[in-house]
Amino acid sequence: MDFAISRRRMVEQHIKSRGVKDPLVLDAMLQVPRHLFVEQALADQAYGDYPLPIGQRQTISQPYMVAVMTEALQLKGGEKILEVGTGSGYQAAVLARIAGRVYSVERIPELARRARRILDQIGCTNVNVKVTDGTFGWEEQQPFDGIIVTAGAPSIPRSYLDQLGPGGRLVIPVGSLGSQVLMRVTKSGEGRFEEERLLDCRFVPLIGGNGWQNDGT
Ligand code: SAM
């Protein structure tokens, strides 16, 4: 299987044609080998437009959603980004091709370890991965130019708003356990916040002190 051809098709058919335009995002998604981030047995499905299981009852997000969320951060290059929910590490790798440095947190140690290994394998040296409850952000590394949360929250944790720098953007799915709205919150220079509803989505839950107490099962 020629993964480069599959990747190009994924970008053309599932991402560009559905309205994602940012050339930095399209280029990053053309470059990052998604098939390395899924289980080997699922490698031939890696460029389909759907989430796939990554173990521990978690998923690698659908490519279109990765593209939309990355575009929503409105990156220009060189930024400092916090990702909550490392999962497979794929979203972190896409961000790392655009941003200056990515701080990514994951609550499940096995997933963080696996993600680190793949990120090292593809030479992603500007990603820091930490095992922690990411509902509190990453206090020591703030302020961030962007925060991206790849799990569904019941409401917007205050810590994320506090850890955004002036002009910074938070992209986060907010809603019930079964369905959420993808929100973008922009912090103005004066510490005011502008909220936008981007689209309906469905993510695994953000579990932690400022999130859900469990996954509802
Ligand atoms: N960004 C990931 C990728 O590219 O593969 C997909 C993430 S998956 C949809 C959501 C992840 O969020 C899971 O790995 C889950 O363990 C993690 N998660 C849930 N609650 C968390 C928390 N409080 N802190 C850090 N990670 C959390």
Candidate of 37, 107, 131 to mutate for ligand 1, largest count of ligand atoms within 8 Å of Cβ: 107
CATH number for domain 3-201, candidates 2.30.30.100, 3.30.70.1290, 3.40.1160.10, 3.40.50.150: 3.40.50.150
Cβ-contact 183, 148 below 8 angstroms: no
The single-letter DSSP state of residue 14 is I
pLDDT for the residue numbered 37: 98
Token pair in block for residue 74: 């409105």
pLDDT, tens digit, 9 for 90 and up, residues 25-67 = 999 999 999 999 999 999 999 999 999 999 999 999 999 999 9
**What is the percentage of the chain residues whose pLDDT exceeds 90?**
96
What's the gap in Å between 190 CA and the centre of ligand 1?
31
pLDDT for the residue numbered 214: 83
Task: Determine whether the shortest distance from the Cβ of 207 to ligand 1 is under 6 A.
Answer: yes
For residues 172, 175, 180, 185, the Cα torsion angle rounded to the nearest 10 degrees is -30
Cβ count near 120 (within 10 Å): 12
Query: In the predicted model, what is the mean pLDDT of the chain?
Result: 96
